[in-house]
């Protein structure tokens, strides 16, 4: 049986019942996809994910990557899964219609990717080439687009984002890779990059790297960086493949997990010149690359949520089957019958802890995806309101560090709880949980660590407009408190949500005061802000969904009734058990001083 357990029912609920995706299908940019097609697409990807893609999960971990002469060879099961995805034509979900896409909204694309990520995250990374093609199509010159885009899509070329350098790490602006102008848009690039996901792999004829480097004479920091198209094999002006370009894999990182994803050291230049094309002939590298970075951050948040989801569902299945111990009420009776562990109070508590958080993280992620749907639809309308578009884009920007930062941190905690359900067996490779933990931990680290996400949230997403975007987001939750939907049955949940909203507002005011006093005080509390804002938004979404679920119980079949009751239970658990923690964080935040920063290093 496959390790991967998808939650297709909750995906459908978020898309169609709560997200009302059908409201944008069949019109504008999404004219070619209706609800039946969207549901069918997700169901078919689910079958693929639970089949050949899930089959690659364990072999990818057990069979090491091979590096010979700068070329990486994948485990056969990973290669088979990648081929199956492309042979099914599923890359078309990611493409705009003018590139052969099927007109799928972002939320449908993300839903499909959730399934692939949960089944085998390494496989999902190797599908990045299609997205890189869309970036070149959006930013490149006509010549560059003609040279690369169609070939990348038709021939399934790989694609990477190349930022990090050994000495710079997350400080991208400290990168030393340099670019020397040759002629027209051709440059020669020298430098070494590290932690490059899927920097090379066998299968495609070519791999296209998007590389940040500093042209000679450019200013220091991120503003001096430019973006270059750097292929493994040079692409001639007529589109034919030329000689081997001077970008080589000089090492594969030995990681604790996600072993099937080739995390590479790339060396550019040296004995063989490394040539690249300046993207769009515009020296605007970091802004251009942020299109890729933001996509990657959403991807990582989705990946974490998906892994936590299958971890929970594996634990749930085990708890329903594993018989151990007597019922707690009969512990003193040595002859009492043994019961399944799901009948023990603490196991039920930990299962609901996982369920509520996973459903909350999915709600948060799909809420962000739904806003992306609206942005795409609005930009396709030539008469769109600039103010409306700006408001949506700012809300989307605000949600991104929450999705990436909160989901990646919380998923790691939850997977440890999933493992605990299995007892000692969970620590063994007989079950997938230990690999889930190893494969997921990286999510808190790359594409910006959690603290980088927290700083982004506080300084760029909240402070830049005086907290207006955050207040707009929280106003939706405030409005829920005043509504009559659900009646008195949800009075307690509304009250707890109201208290949490007040707590977050106090935390925000304290942080604004910190900015005037010392920036260090923000640094000491930014993670608390991210976690608290994420949890109050999740609580709002869970309560809103629970009210809808409760209203849907009348006339529901047995399976749907159980699902809806579960949605109500998740909201009640989260508001009762999670939201009170915000008041503790507020006390910690208000008590923060600079003594830690003043402490002599020798005392650590």
Tell me the catalytic residues. 447
Say how far apart CA 514 and CA 350 lie, in whole Å.
37
What is the DSSP secondary-structure string of 486-539? TGGGGHHHHHHHHHHHHHHHHHHHHHHHHHHH-HHHHHTTHHHHHHHHHHHHHH
Burial class (CB in 10 A: 0-12, 13-18, 19+), 602: exposed
Q: Which is it for strands 178-183 and 207-215: parallel, antiparallel or unpaired?
A: parallel
Quick check: 121 and 261 in contact, CB under 8 A? yes
Torsion angle of C-alpha atoms 416, 418, 421, 427, degrees rounded to 10: -60
Quick check: 395 and 473 in contact, CB under 8 A? yes
Q: Which two tokens stand for residue 206?
A: 């070519």
Say how far apart CA 128 and CA 124 lie, in whole Å.
8
Rg, Å, the chain Cα set: 25
Alpha-carbon separation of residue 327 from 320, 336, 347, 351, 361 (angstroms) = 14, 8, 12, 17, 33
Burial class (CB in 10 A: 0-12, 13-18, 19+), 355: buried
Q: What number of other Cβ atoms are within 10 A of residue 554's Cβ? A: 8
In SS3 terms, 272-293 reads as: CCCEEEEHHHCCCHHHHHHHHH
Q: Which is it for strands 241-244 and 323-326: parallel, antiparallel or unpaired?
A: unpaired
How far out from the chain centre does Cα 291 lie?
14
| Closest by CA position to 319, among listed 433, 421, 430 | 421
């Amino acid at each position: 049986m496959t390790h991967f357990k998808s939650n297709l029912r909750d995906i459908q609920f978020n898309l169609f019942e709560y997200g009302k995706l059908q409201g944008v299908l069949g019109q504008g940019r999404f004219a070619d996809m209706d609800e039946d097609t969207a549901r069918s697409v997700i169901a078919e990807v689910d079958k693929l994910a639970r089949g050949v893609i899930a089959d690659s999960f364990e072999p990818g971990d057990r069979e090491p990557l091979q590096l010979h002469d700068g070329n990486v060879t994948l485990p056969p099961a990973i290669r088979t899964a990648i081929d199956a995805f492309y042979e099914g034509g599923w890359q078309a979900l990611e493409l705009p219609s003018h590139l052969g896409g099927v007109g799928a909204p972002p939320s449908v694309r993300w839903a499909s990717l959730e399934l692939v990520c949960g089944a085998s995250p390494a496989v999902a990374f190797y599908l990045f080439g299609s997205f890189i093609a869309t970036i070149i199509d959006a930013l490149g010159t006509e010549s560059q687009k003609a040279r690369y885009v169609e070939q990348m899509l038709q021939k399934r070329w790989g694609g990477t984002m190349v930022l990090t350098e050994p000495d710079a790490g997350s400080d991208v602006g400290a990168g030393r890779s340099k670019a020397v102008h040759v002629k027209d848009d051709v440059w020669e690039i020298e430098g070494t990059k590290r932690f490059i996901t899927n920097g090379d792999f066998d299968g495609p004829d070519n791999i296209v790297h998007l590389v940040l480097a500093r042209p000679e004479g450019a200013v220091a920091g991120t503003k001096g960086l430019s973006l270059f198209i750097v292929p493994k094999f040079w692409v001639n002006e007529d589109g034919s493949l030329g000689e081997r370009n001077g970008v080589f894999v000089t090492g594969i990182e030995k990681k604790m997990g996600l072993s099937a994803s080739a995390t590479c050291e790339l060396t550019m230049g040296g004995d063989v010149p490394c040539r690249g094309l300046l993207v769009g002939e515009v020296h605007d590298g970091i802004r251009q690359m942020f299109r890729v970075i933001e996509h990657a951050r959403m991807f990582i948040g989705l990946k974490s949520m998906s892994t936590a989801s299958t971890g929970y569902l594996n634990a749930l299945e085990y708890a329903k089957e594993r018989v151990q111990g007597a019922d707690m009420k009969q512990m003193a009776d040595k002859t009492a019958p043994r019961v399944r562990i799901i009948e023990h109070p603490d196991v039920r508590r930990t299962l609901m802890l996982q369920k509520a958080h996973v459903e909350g993280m999915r709600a948060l992620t799909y809420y962000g995806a739904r806003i992306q749907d609206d942005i795409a639809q609005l930009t396709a309308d030539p008469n769109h309101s600039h103010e409306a578009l700006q408001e949506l884009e700012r809300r989307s920007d605000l949600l991104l560090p929450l999705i990436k930062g909160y989901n990646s941190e919380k998923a790691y905690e939850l997977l440890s709880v999933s493992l605990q359900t299995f007892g000692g067996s969970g620590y063994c490779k007989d079950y997938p949980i230990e690999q889930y933990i190893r494969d997921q931990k990286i999510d808190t680290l790359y594409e910006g660590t959690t603290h980088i996400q927290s700083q982004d949230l506080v300084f760029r997403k909240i402070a830049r407009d005086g907290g207006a975007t955050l207040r707009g987001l929280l106003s939706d939750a405030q409005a829920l408190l005043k509504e009559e939907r659900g009646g008195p049955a949800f009075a307690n949940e509304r009250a707890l949500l109201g208290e949490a909203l007040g707590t977050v507002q106090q935390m925000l005011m304290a942080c604004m005061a910190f900015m005037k006093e010392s920036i260090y005080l923000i640094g000491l509390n930014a993670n608390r802000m991210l976690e608290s804002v994420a949890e109050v938004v999740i609580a709002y979404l869970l309560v809103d969904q629970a009210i809808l679920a409760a209203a849907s119980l009348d006339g529901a079949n047995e399976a749907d009734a159980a699902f809806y009751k579960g949605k109500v239970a998740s909201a009640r658990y989260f508001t009762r058990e999670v939201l009170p923690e915000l008041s503790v964080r507020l006390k910690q935040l208000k008590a923060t001083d600079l003594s830690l920063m003043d402490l002599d290093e020798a005392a650590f």
